[in-house]
Amino acid sequence: MDELMLDGNAVAGVLSEVFAVEMTTATMTCGHCGAAHAVGAMHVFRGAGIVLRCPNCDNAVVKIVEDGNRMWMNFGGMQALEMIH
């Protein structure tokens, strides 16, 4: 793993603010390669925002930007998000 990279557990808190369910075990299906992984297994990169990348093909599955009390989330790289409620 890249030393600047975290795993998906690092963003579970942020995602739980939006999705009021347990997010570490939610499954994201990559829109590029079709691989399905638990959020906790996604590769997380933090810079000006947060990018969750597919551990199989490195596709940017989710992009998150926060600015004070606002948040933008882009799921353009995701085929599906499966959550247990």
The answer to whether 32 contacts Zn ion (rule: CB under 5 A) is yes
| Residue 33 binds Zn ion (CB under 5 A) | yes
Residue 55: count of CB within 10 angstroms of its CB: 17
Contact status: 52 vs Zn ion (CB under 5 A): no
Distance CA 30, CA 79 (A): 6
Longest dimension (CA), the chain: 34
Going residue by residue from 63 to 82, which x/- string records binding to Zn ion, judged by CB under 5 A? --------------------
- Three-state secondary structure call for residue 83: coil
Q: What is the binding site for Zn ion (CB under 5 A)?
A: 30, 32-33, 35, 54, 56-57, 59
